[in-house]
Amino acid sequence: MENIEDKISGLLHGYQGGLVLMTACELGVFDALTGPPVSALEVAEKLGLSEKGVERLLNALAALGIAAKDNEKYSLPEEWLPYLTKDGERSMHQWMWLSKKLIQPWLEMDRFVRSGENISSIMDMLGSEPENMRAFTDAMHDKGLKATWTLAREIPIGDCKKMLDLGGGPGTYSLEWCKLHPHLKATILDIPPVLEVAKEYIKRYGLKDRVTTKPGDFHKDGLGTEYDLVLLANILHMYEGDQGRALVQKAADCLAPGGRIVIHGFCTDDGDVAPLNDVLFSVNIGLLTPGGRAHPVKEKIDWLEAAGIGEIRHFRVDAVPTGVVTGVKKG
């Protein structure tokens, strides 16, 4: 059995490694380690930082197994480059930026527990400055890439021709799936500021002829009709149950008979105590929204059944988030 004292200690200090990672990202340390090995002094002079602080940060990165240290010089191993450098192919730079932004509400969790009311508004946080919305949208793209590839192996997306990406953000799923299936066309529906970023991604992918944008509020506006694939990715956990159920019904209504709906997001198993990441996310989204939660899998299945969806399947993928529920509209 794990030593209880060690487990408590690990939980109490668990934030430290994450903050080392986020700080190195924020200060540009990873990009300063992309060339030949360098000393702490060289990094400090290049970035305008203190040698003392940089040395301790680099030693911490080395202890975490992220940076390599040899002869008092540091480097970033090749396998980490795509993830930690700002322009890396699999960069998580914006995701680390967002993670640091979301720390403050956790420090006030006692207020949430006492009152049941959210500490901050994620939409206010993102809407207060254009760069916040841009960074958040970019972070969604970085995080979503692995999920798109994993889902494409599990779901017969290749059978579909007309897709609606509901609240699709940068359009990561639409773009990756259209790249994979040349006959697929997709519409990304989201608010105008987000779609400005999505248009840049569409251009970058070279898919302007098959991926379009549709500005709107998916709670109030029409979604279109006769789609054979509707995706709700990272959406339902933003809202309380009645809103989630209504949105699933609306998504099902715009599907053609035989069309597929895919829900990808945080969701807990029976009892609401697993998986751990989804349970913790439920706390996180409670800090940031009035009614959001990681809705239980059974609840999502009930919504789909009530909306006329059959052949329902639930599974988890090796991505963030893990939960997927999918089904087909009855004829």
Per-residue pLDDT tens over the stretch 170-219: 999 999 999 999 999 999 999 998 999 999 999 999 999 999 999 999 99
pLDDT at 136: 84
* The CATH number of the domain covering residues in 107-329: 3.40.50.150
DSSP 8-state code for residue 159: G
**C-alpha distance from residue 227 to each of 140, 163, 202, 247 (Å):** 24, 6, 20, 16
pLDDT at 128: 65
**C-alpha distance from residue 25 to each of 75, 100, 101, 103 (Å):** 15, 10, 13, 15
pLDDT at 130: 73
Q: Within the chain, how many helices (H) and strands (E) appear?
A: 15, 9
Amino acid at 75: S
Architecture of domain 4-84: Orthogonal Bundle (1.10)
Percentages of the chain per state (helix, strand, coil), in multiples of 5: 50, 15, 30
Q: Which residues of the chain fall below pLDDT 70?
A: 1-2, 127-128
The ranges assigned to domains in the chain are 4-84, 107-329
- Common-topology check for domains 4-84 and 107-329: no
User: Taking the CA of residue 301 as centre, how many other CA atoms within 13 Å lie in the half-sphere pointing to its CB?
Assistant: 14
pLDDT at 105: 95
Q: Over the stretch 106-127, which tens digit does the pLDDT of each residue have?
A: 999 999 999 999 999 988 877 6
pLDDT at 150: 95
